[in-house]
Structure 1
Amino acid sequence: MRRFVRTGVDALEHLVSGLGTAILALAALIAGVLLAQPALVRSAADRERARLSRWGPEIIDPGPLPARRWVALRDAGVRRELAWVGVHGTAGFLLGLLGLTLPLYALQCITFPLWYHLVPGDIGGPGVLFWPIRGLPDALLVALAGVGWLAATIFAGPYLARLQAWPGRRLLAPPPGADLSARVAHLTATRAAALDAHAAELRRIERSLHDGTQNRLVAVTVLLGLARRALTRDPAAAEQAIDRAQTAAEDALSELRTVVRGILPPVLADRGLAGALDGLARDCGIPCELTVDAPGRFPTAVEATAYYVVAEALTNATKHSGAGHATVSVRREEDRLVLRIDDDGMGGADETRGSGLTGIRRRVEAYDGTMTLTSPAGGPTTMRVELPCGS
């Protein structure tokens, strides 16, 4: 039941955001048809592409508009966008209103027993209920109907959201056989980011091995040499050197384990993603609440990236945000793994100032994922990451 409720809430969010783009589409329809302004149509269509890309597979921008207005209006992509604003500005608008009305009806009806005495009895209850209200029993019947409205919101919402999004995914995506240069450029950029992230990871591993493990192993070799030379003439000094060599060897082994965990944490193989994230939440420097609704296993690269994102985000929340509490939610939405990390810190997180945010984005985009960061001054900070994980 909890999963259905979460799905219904997500669907409501989709419908309300779709209502916003439907209003833009309606305005763009008037501007595009009556005023011949394809740029306004393209702007509204780009907003819808961005919205749909946040909730599912990315929709690639078709590229720049032709410079001349009448040439643009004859462009096949612009004609598809004009068709979209016609459909979304009308049907999408009505679906958005319906999606917003259902929970309002549910709220009105469920709370009606608390305020029914403020309404004249012959008017009836809220929603589509018109029988006279003669007392509390009739008001309770209205509340029972409100439970029905709530069930309709939860179960019908996802279908309404998909129906509202269907014209955009059908008409705003590049047509078959279209120029794929934008997609090639996007893939080139993400692969370049993947190579940069891989090179940075190799440099980090090399630095850790050179500055830590290698130096300690050299110290072990030197101490063992001293112990061998002092073994016959000064057994006490030899024993001290062996003790120091053992300590250095143990430190080197510990640092080597740390480096190995940074490459691919063994806890992922042992306990899976949920168990590994549970360990991160328990070891976090601030209270952290974890919710995982992602049964089964995922590709190794996806699990490693998700683990890295959560670990880095919690480290930032602990060290830089001044937060007193953090929440992490992980769930699977069709073919995508969705991570959301919230903290109640001071906000103002900026990728240009480091704090590992650029590294997170590069690592996410290297796997064709998306990262959205919301961190207004004063907080809170929300990071949402989506990773493709197969069907």
Structure 2
Amino acid sequence: MRRWLRDWRYVAVEFAASVVSLVLFCVGMLLLPLMIITGGVLILPQAVRILHAWSDLNRRRIGAFRGVDLPPISRPLPPGATIDDRLRFAFSRSTGRDALWLAVHALPVFSVSLLAAVLPVAAVNALALTYYWQFAPADDPVGSPYPVTSWELAATMPLVAVAYALISWWLMPAVARLVSWTSARLLATPEKSRLAARVDALTLSRAAALDAHGAELRRIERDLHDGAQNRLVNVVMMLGIAERALETDPSGVLEPLRRAQDAATDALAGLRRTVHDIYPPILDELGLEGALASLAGRSAVPCTIEAADVGRVPAAVESASYFVVAEALTNVNKYSGAAHATVQVSRESERLIITVEDDGAGGAVERPGGGLAGIRRRVEAFEGTTELTSPVGGPTTLRAELPCGS
């Protein structure tokens, strides 16, 4: 009985889901002429995103019922995508499979699940009809499955209820398995598509890693050129002045030497900062939690760190996480006008999740070459994801997920 109830719940939920699919299918049919007129560039990618989100939600539900894994395909549409990118995204094979599933789910599954789900209700109604038929108007008798106009006909209703119950007892598991099997076959990702999606993800990750690496090299070059190099030039100049002073006026050589020493100290400090920005030594000394606590202590906006039981993760991931938080707090200090910020770091399965939230004015947007774009580049280099939520009036929430191994 418990198994039958589980099947009935699944069929009932499947019927409710098929109603949503039917609505989406009808809306898609209504928008199809407009998509054709505009070439599909404006509306179609957004409609496909909704389709993928809905199919992914059903993948999780159907996979849980069948006890199988139905992973969604990663379908990235990067910001600033070209028209070709948007059309390629909209007309991909995965979109075709999801559209086919939507059509099947909206029409045949809707009808079959409706029939199966109402049979137990019909059995209960037939049993109750034995009593309440007498209250119906004489010219409009209750019918289930035939009009009941007398006590003799009402006495047959328990037999009808038993028939409905027997049919439902046999039909419900069959419908649940047929519907779940059909949906699973349509929503399952072919191995070829999985490999193609993995190649696409690795290609994007490699491109992001190269961009991040190039940006990091340019930053290091800029820091060395504008910082340590200029200070070392000052050291050489001061030593040259000291040399001439030694030849002409030995008593005046002390002041240039002191200036040269100060310039050398500044140059050494600049080199240390550059090395620190490549890989902060504090990560080796205190780990990620201690390094983030140090960042929070230096923040102009009061900041709370919640990073208990994160443990150690690969050094590259620790470094990327440190710089993500550092850049995010820099943006909070400069632009948010916040009174408080919170950094949460947690570990779920094989992913490190970083959330930076502030109670500032909001309205943050990602701009090419900006700090948020740099964060996204750095995270995507590890095949991670970044999500920014910043409504006008706040709060602003930056969420980054980085694969970190088991």
Q: Identify the TM-score tier after normalising by the shorter chain.
A: 0.5 to 0.7
What is residue 293 of structure 1 aligned with on the other side? 308
Code of the residue aligned with 2:350 in structure 1: it is: D
Q: 2:21 aligns with which of 20, 25, 28?
A: 28
The 5 A counterparts of 1:5-20 are none
Give ranges in structure 2 of 5+ residues lacking alignment. 1-13, 33-43, 60-70, 76-87, 114-181
Write the distance in 2 (CA, Å) between the matches of 1:317 and 1:170. 47
CA distance in 2: counterparts of 1:330 and 1:22, whole angstroms: 40
Query: Which structure 2 residues correspond to residues 115-154 of structure 1 after superposition, within 5 A?
Result: none
Please tell me whether the aligned partners of residues 344 and 379 of structure 1 are also in contact (alpha carbons under 8 angstroms): yes
| CA positional deviation for 1:179 | 6.6
Shift in CA distance, 23/284, structure 1 to aligned 2, threshold 3 Å: farther
Q: How does 1:1-391 map to 2 (within 5 A)?
A: 26-29=19-22, 44-48=50-54, 59-61=73-75, 64-65=90-91, 78=99, 172=187, 174-178=189-193, 180-231=195-246, 233-352=248-367, 355-391=370-406
Distance 1:352 1:389 in 2: 28
What SS class does the counterpart of residue 293 from structure 1 fall into?
coil
Inter-partner Cα distance in structure 2 for 1:322 and 1:264:
29
User: Could you tell me the TM-score, scaled by structure 2's length?
Assistant: 0.61
Paired-residue identity, % = 48
Q: Tell me, yes or no, if the aligned pair for 1:52 and 1:59 is still in contact at 8 Å.
A: no
Question: What secondary structure, in the 3-state scheme, does the structure 2 residue paired with 1:364 have?
Answer: helix
* 8 Å CA contact retained: 2:48, 2:90: no
Report the CA distance shift for 1:258/1:370 in structure 2 as closer, same or farther (over 3 A).
same
* Change in 2 beyond 3 A, CA 1:377/1:63: closer
Q: Give the alignment's Cα RMSD to 1 decimal.
A: 4.0
- Distance (whole Å) between structure 1 residues aligned to residue 264 and residue 183 of structure 2: 61
- Answer yes or no: is the 8 Å Cα contact 1:81–1:172 preserved in 2: no
Deviation at 1:24, TM superposition (A): 6.4
Instruction: Please state how far the C-alpha of 1:354 moved relative to its aligned partner.
Output: 5.7
CA distance in 2, matches of 1:389, 1:49: 28
1:30–1:385 Cα change, 3 Å: same
The answer to whether the Cα contact below 8 Å between 1:281 and 1:290 also exists between their aligned partners in 2 is yes
Residues of 2 paired with 1:52 and 1:28: CA distance?
10
**Unaligned stretches of 5+ in structure 1?**
1-20, 91-166
Structure index of larger Rg: 2
The alpha carbon displacement at 1:80 in A equals 5.4
Are the aligned partners of 2:201 and 2:383 in contact in 1 as well (CA < 8 Å)?
A: no
Amino acid at match of 1:379: G
Secondary structure (helix, strand or coil) at the match of 1:231 reads helix
Q: Report the Cα offset of residue 30 of structure 1.
A: 6.5
Cα shift at 1:371: 0.6
Q: Which stretch has the larger CA shift, 225-234 or 187-196?
A: 225-234
Task: Check the 8 A contact 1:316/1:355 in 2, yes or no.
Answer: no
How far did 1:172 drift?
A: 4.3
In the TM superposition, what is the alpha-carbon distance from 1:182 to its structure 2 partner? 4.1
Contact 1:331–1:337 (8 Å) recurs in 2:
yes
Distance 1:168 1:301 in 2: 41
Q: TM-score, normalised by structure 1?
A: 0.63
